[in-house]
Each structure stands twice: as structure tokens, then as C-alpha cells.
Structure 1
Amino acid sequence: MQLHIRTLVKQDYLSVFDAFDERLFRKLSPPYPRLKLLRFDGSYPGDVVEVELQAGFKSYRWTSLITERVVTDTEAYFVDEGLEVPSPLRRWRHKHLVAKEGAGAVIHDIIEYSTGSKTLDLLLYPLMLVQFGSRKPVYKKMFN
């Protein structure tokens, strides 16, 4: 299943892309489930980001590996892929793309995920849309 969320911001694409650091990661964390950041190496290939999702009395580990990073004259992106993802997820790939748009930029969150069940993927889609859609106001506040 793929989810693609676009957010138009007023800052130039390289300034926005360069701001994808631990501080922004913490600001983008959803209110639920709560995230406890265990490790944040950065956004270069080989870097690892590890969090603990805290949902009530239960917690889940989520570990992602940065597998790609590209910067061109018109766009910049990095990709994180899940090494350890919470059930029911089996596969996770998130491309953080920032593209030039006039004097500003468009931030693209392109998420591919799979539970192994098309039905469950579809049922999770609205939740994913809400979770990642909640990033839009944070992006706008940070980059407008």
C-alpha cells in the first residue's frame, strides 16, 4: 500500500531538507502512540533511527535504516526502511522528498507499507493518513 502526502512550504528546498534532523523528528512525533527516541544517527545511508512506541501498557520497538540519500539541483531526499517494525506491519519504506517549487518547496512523505494482507493494509490506510497528515501543520509552522 502506498500513501503520498504533499505539503507546500515557503522556504527553499535545500533549507527545508537540511532541517530534517533530530529536532524536527521530535516535533513530527504524533501525540499517540507516544514515541521514545532511543537512537537517532541522522539521515545518511547506514544511519539508524530507533524508537519505542508507547501505547498504554504495551510498547513496541521500531528500527529504521537510512538506505538512500540524493541531492540534486531540484530535489533532495532520503529513504528510511524498517528493519524492525511493530505488528501488524511487515514492510516499511518512507521516502522523505523535498522538491523545489518556485521560491518555495513541496515536502513529500511517500510511504509504502505492507502487513501481508491487502484487507488489513486498507484498514490501516485511514490511520496512516491521519498520523502522517498531522505533519502538515508542523511543516507549515517550521517552514513558512
Structure 2
Amino acid sequence: MELKIQTTVQRDHLYVWQNFNQTLFEKLSPPFPKAKLIQYDGNEVGCKVDIELDFLIFKNRWLSVITENGETKNGLYFRDQGEKLPFFLGKWSHKHIIEPYQNGQTIIKDEVSFEAPIPWLSFLLYPLIWGQFLWRIPIYKRTFSK
């Protein structure tokens, strides 16, 4: 399944790119499940992000590796791929795109592709994952306001 969300913020794309870091990552974490950051190496190829998710009655680890980082004609991006995922996910790919926009603004795009181990479970997860990314919009806007 795929989902795409974009947010326009009031800072230039280089400022946004430079501040896509551990501090922002921790701000973007929704209240549930509670996430404990174990490791955050950065956004360069080979860097790892390791999280422990606390679902109250059980905990699950989520390890992603940055597999791409680069520049396109439209902006900058990096991609994280799930290496060790919670039991309810079989595949995960998240492309973070930072594009310059008009008047010094930036468009932040989240492009996510995921699959559950059982196909019908992907349909149940879709609104939950969508909600997790909608949670980010006001945080992006607050963080990258002038």
C-alpha cells in the first residue's frame, strides 16, 4: 500500500534539510505507541534509526536503514527502509522529499510504501499509518515557521 502526504512550510529547503535531524525526529513521534529512540545515526546512506515501540502490553523494535540520499531536479531526499519491523509489518519504505517552493517556502513530502505480512491487514493498517503522518503536519509547520 502507498500513501503520500505533503506539507508546505515557511522556511527555505536548505534550512529544512539541515534540520531534518534527531531533534525533529523526536518531535514527530506521536503519543501512541510510545517510542523510545535507541539509535539515530543521521540521514546518510547506511545510517540506522532504531526505535522501541511500547504498545502497553508488549514492545516491538523497529530498525530502519537509510538506503538512499541525494538530489533530484526538484529537491533533496532520503529513503529509509525497514530492516527489522514490528510483527504487523512485512515491508516498509519511506521517502522524505524536501522541495523548494515559492517565496522561500518548502514542500515536505512523505511517500510511504508498506505491506503487512497478511494482505488484508494492510487495509486495516492504512488509516492508522495515515493518521501517524497527519500528526506530523502541524509539527512541521510549527518547527519550520519563521
TM-score category, normalised to shorter length: over 0.9
TM-score normalised to the size of structure 2?
A: 0.95
User: Which residue of 2 is the match for residue 104 of structure 1?
Assistant: 105
What RMSD in Å do the two structures reach over aligned CA positions? 1.1
- Equivalent residues in 2 for 1:36-75, closer than 5 Å: 36-72=36-72, 74-75=74-75
C-alpha distance in structure 1 between counterparts of 2:73 and 2:106, whole Å: 12
2:130 partner letter: L
C-alpha distance in structure 2 between counterparts of 1:17 and 1:117, whole Å: 36
TM-score normalised to the size of structure 1?
A: 0.96
Unaligned runs of 5+ in 1: none
C-alpha distance in structure 1 between counterparts of 2:80 and 2:131, whole Å: 20
User: Which residue of 1 is the match for residue 124 of structure 2?
Assistant: 123
C-alpha distance in structure 1 between counterparts of 2:56 and 2:120, whole Å: 26
2:29 partner letter: S
- Equivalent residues in 2 for 1:77-96, closer than 5 Å: 77-96=77-96
2:20 is paired with a residue whose SS is coil
> Alignment identity in percent?
40
| Count, aligned residues | 144
Shift of 1:43: 0.4
User: Which residue of 1 is the match for residue 21 of structure 2?
Assistant: 21
C-alpha distance in structure 2 between counterparts of 1:76 and 1:97, whole Å: 6
